[in-house]
């Protein structure tokens, strides 16, 4: 079994409906979840808590993007860097596309289905206990 799953998955998403959707899907799948409504809050949580993985929107309010979160993880929590998933509704934005390509982080494009989310979470973060 994957001992990592004792820790929650951090979901960084400013849209309340998307955060609720992801939280419900993950919790039904057996994953504990902690939500953050901004990249700033996500970084504060990452600095002080342990997480099984991170699912982050690419664009969040407060001046800290999903790419910024990923760069911080790479520098301060490199053990977590392979367990990050981006979600985005902005793949027509060239800046977003470049960020996705430069990080190589797997991503889901909004809107996505529960099954797509769960398949990617199992592949990237691991199976729930």
Query: Per CATH, is 7-121 categorized as 3.40.50.2300?
Result: yes
Q: Which of 47-51, 58-62, 72-76 has the lowest mean pLDDT?
A: 58-62
pLDDT in tens, 66-86: 999 999 999 999 999 999 999
pLDDT score of 1 more than 50: no
What 3-state class would DSSP assign to 68? helix
Report pLDDT for 50: 96
Determine the longest span between alpha carbons in the chain, in angstroms: 40
Report pLDDT for 101: 84
Annotated domain spans of the chain:
7-121
H-state helical runs in the chain: 16-28, 39-48, 66-76, 94-103, 114-124
């Amino acid at each position: 079994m994957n001992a990592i799953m004792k820790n929650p998955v951090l979901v960084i998403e400013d849209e309340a409906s998307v955060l609720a959707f992801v939280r419900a899907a993950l919790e039904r799948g057996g994953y504990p979840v902690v939500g953050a409504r901004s990249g700033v809050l996500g970084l504060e949580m990452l600095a002080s808590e342990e997480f099984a993985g991170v699912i982050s929107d690419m664009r969040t309010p407060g001046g800290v993007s999903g790419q910024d979160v990923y760069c911080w993880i790479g520098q301060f929590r490199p053990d977590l860097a392979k367990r990050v998933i981006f979600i985005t509704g902005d793949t027509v934005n060239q800046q977003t596309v470049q960020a996705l390509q430069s990080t190589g982080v797997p991503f889901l494009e909004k809107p996505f289905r529960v099954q797509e989310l769960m398949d990617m979470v199992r592949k990237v973060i691991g199976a729930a206990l």
